[in-house]
Structure formats: C-alpha cells, structure tokens
Chains A and B, each alone.
Chain A
Amino acid sequence: MNIEEFIKHIEAEFDDLKPGILKADSNFREAFEWNSINALILIAMVKTEYDVTLTADDLIKSKTVSDIYTLIETRKS
C-alpha cells in the first residue's frame, strides 16, 4: 500500500473531488465538504480496502490525509 493509492480510493468515493487536487498534506476537512455522512463514507472505505477501523476520535485528532494514512499503516502492521 502507498499514499497515492489511498488518495485514489478517496477520490473514487467523493464525486465532488476532482482528481489531482487532494495531496498528502491536504486538510481533508477543507478538501471536501466535511459532515457526518462523509465521515461514514471514509470509515467504510478504509474498512473495506484496508480492514482498519477508524473511530470518531481518530478523525477528530487527524488533520491531513497523511495523518489518516499513518493511522492505517500503524494498525495494519
């Protein structure tokens, strides 16, 4: 797994997100409209693709795309 692939998975889930805009250091709350439904979409994608569970607390503590990616990496290993 790598972060480019993770970004591609996010882009696939959010229609409003034009490919290429989201970067590793992007603040995900600003990159796409952040609400509870989008939080669930992100959690569902991470569970399906990486079999990792993100909690509400994880999302609150994360700021950038790479913050979430690091969480997934740590929990996968």
Chain B
Amino acid sequence: MAQFSLPGIKISGLAAAVPSHKEFTADYKWIAVKERESLIKNIGVESRRVATKGTTTSDLCVEAAGKLLDDLHWDRSEVELLIFVSQSRDYLVPTTACIVQDRLGLPHSCVAMDIGLGCSGYVYGLSVAGSMMQSGTIKKALLMVGDISTLTTCYRDKSTYPLFGDVGTVTALEYDINAPKIHFNLQTDGSGYKALIIQDGGARNVMSRESFNIKKVGPGIYRSHLHLELDGIEVFNFTLREVVPNIKKLLAGTGESLAAINYVVFHQANRLINETLRKMLKLEVEKVPYSIREFGNTSGASVPLTMIVSLKEQLESGKQKLLLSAFGVGLSWGSAIIETDRICIPDLIEVA
C-alpha cells in the first residue's frame, strides 16, 4: 500500500504564472448558447487562460520561480533539486527540467528531472521531492507543476476545448526538521489509460500523415489522433468510485479527521465531479475552494493554483491543515495531508 509519511519537509513558497489571454465559455461559438450556459453552470468554467503559440509550460514555471526565489530571498546556488511535473514538455528529448536548471541559474549540483503525470501530478511531485530530501543533504527544492493543455485540444471538440486552461506553478520546499509530517496515499489503475489519451505521436503509434485527420466522433465532437480525447463518463465514474475511499484510508491510517482539516483542495476536474465528492464527504461549502470558474481545469497545477488564488490570505497569515486530493489521467490518483505555516505567495503573475 503506497501510504507513507515524510517528516522534515516545509512548504516555504507557492507561485503561479498564467497567460494573459482569456477565453470565455460564453463566446464558444462551436456550441449553442443554451449549451454554453449549461457548461458554465454544471462544468463550472466561465473563463480560461490560453497560452500563445510557442509559449511553453516551462516558460510559465520559470516566470513564477524567478519571482518566488526573489520574494523568498533564496540563493539560487542552494537549490539542489528541481522536479518538473507536466505532460506538455518543451521537447520530446531532452528532459525539460535540465533546460530549466540552466535558465534559472541553478547549480550543477542540482538534481533535475521530469515526471510525466497530469491531474494527479502535484501530490505525486510532492512525494518524490519530499522523499529525495529525506537525507537532509538537499536543503532546498523547487517543484514545478503545470501544463499547456490548450495546445492539444481541438476547437471542434466540445468535450475538451471549453474545459482546459493553462498555468505553470512552482512550490518551494525546504528541509526543516521541525516541519510536521506530510502524509500520502497514492494509487494507480492503468487499465483505464484510454479514458484520457492522445493516441498518436508517441512510440506506440508513431506520428503519421493519418494522425492529422480530423474525424467526427460524436455530436459536437471532432478531433484527430494528435488531440486529447476525454471519456467523460468513464473519468466521472472512476473519480466517484476511487477518491472518497482513498481519502478515508489516508485519514484512518494517520488518525486524522476531516473535522480537523481547514480546507480540502481537490483537483479542479469539473464542478459537477467536485461538488459530488464534496457531498459524499459531507464537507461544508466553505471548506472546499475552487479555481475552475476563472481558470478551467488546469491539469496537475489545479491544486497549487487553487491554493494560490483562493487561499492566499489564509496560507500567508498562519497555520493551516489541508487535505489535497488529485485524480485523473493514467488513471492515477492520490491524496496528501499537509500542515503549512505562513507560506510566501506572490500575486498571480500574468505572462503576455
């Protein structure tokens, strides 16, 4: 069972950068006005940030990291771990984290690597970074989590295009023997790998001329094999089946109770999924912050983005106990309980 606790890891800072360009669901002309209204009401996305062509996830993460390092007054030569969690890398080869190490001016003694996870990425990234810091020799680390999902959604696919938004986040972690333990429960079920997939362009289906053909898949759904496919009902049922038991096991294993948790931050899948999870766990509305209305589903970055845009004041001013829960593509999911104490959070950065 992948349930474990990591001592000595302090979350010192959190920052996010988004593209300045906004798209509104109300203007999404591919579907009828009434359907747009239903999308806004049920899926919960009013607007999303969309990156201009050529802007990468790492560009956004580097902007956010630069600002955060300045605000924290961290000496860049002390950052010896950089993890980049994303499904939209700069290149197929090499690893994006290597490029970012150099761009940020981090030392050659820095460990840098990518993790190719989406929705569940933040919780996974925290667990990997926290594990690598256990020896206490790596004192400072940056965890970057982000995606430019709009690159791979087809405008004529109403099941994906109006859902996803772009963002890059960075979390600054410090080794601190006084930091409370972070508790994790991580899970995987790869039998559902087709529920969220880009068919072509990897080694399984090498990109070909046919990869570009856009075909009708259903009402309002046209796409090619280079576009992201989303089986909404499959993902919905997976979430409702797995997330609550995962959280309950984490709570039982650590002796924590939901009552003692200040906020439960869910991956921003869609409003309907998240509200159903909230009701299943009998959580008060005030305990469950959202960012989906303004930013859409921002993949792995949705947990830190929600913390930044909805809980900035609470996280900056005092101690908070949070339960983070993220789930999706893989299928991969996990939850974590973190206790924070005055996190440094610069204002949201907009990148032209």
Interface stretch, picked from B127-135, B231-239, B329-337, is: B231-239
A47-B240, A55-B237 known; A37-B280 Cβ under 8 A: no
Within 8 Å of chain B (Cβ to Cβ): is A41? Answer: yes
Q: Check B21 for interface membership: any CB of A closer than 8 A.
A: no
Q: A18: shortest Cβ distance to chain B, in Å?
A: 17
> A36 in the interface, Cβ–Cβ < 8 Å?
yes
Q: Does A53 contact B (CB under 8 A)?
A: yes
What number of residue pairs across chains A and B have CB atoms under 8 A from each other?
49
Residue in B43, B237, B276 whose beta carbon sits within 8 Å of that of A37 in the complex: B43
B35 interface residue per 8 A CB criterion:
yes
Find out whether the CB atom of B280 lies under 8 angstroms from the CB atom of A48. yes
Q: Which residue of A lies closest to B43 (CB)?
A: A37
CB distance from A33 to the nearest CB of B (A): 8
Please state if A36 and B272 are interface contacts (CB–CB under 8 Å).
Answer: no
Contact A44 B237 (CB under 8 A): no
Instruction: Please report the C-alpha to C-alpha distance between residue A59 and residue B234 in the assembled complex, in whole angstroms.
Output: 13
Interface contact B237-A53, CB-CB below 8 Å? yes
**Residue A7 at the chain B interface, CB threshold 8 Å:** no
Does A21 interact with chain B (Cβ within 8 Å)? no
B-side contacts of A56, CB under 8 Å:
231, 233-234
Residues of B within 8 A of A41 (CB): 42, 272
Q: Which of A38, A39, A48, A54 contacts B276 (CB 8 A)?
A: A48
Asked, given contacts A48-B276, A48-B280, A53-B241, whether A40 binds B236 with beta carbons under 8 Å apart, the answer is yes
CB-defined contacts of A3 to chain B, threshold 8 Å: none
Within the assembled complex, what's the spacing in Å between the Cα atoms of A43 and B231?
Answer: 14
User: Which A-B residue pairs are the 7 nearest by beta carbons?
Assistant: A56-B233, A44-B276, A47-B240, A37-B42, A48-B279, A37-B38, A53-B237
Interface residues of chain B, those whose CB is within 8 Å of chain A, are 34-35, 38-39, 42-43, 159, 219, 231-234, 236-237, 240-241, 272-273, 275-276, 279-280
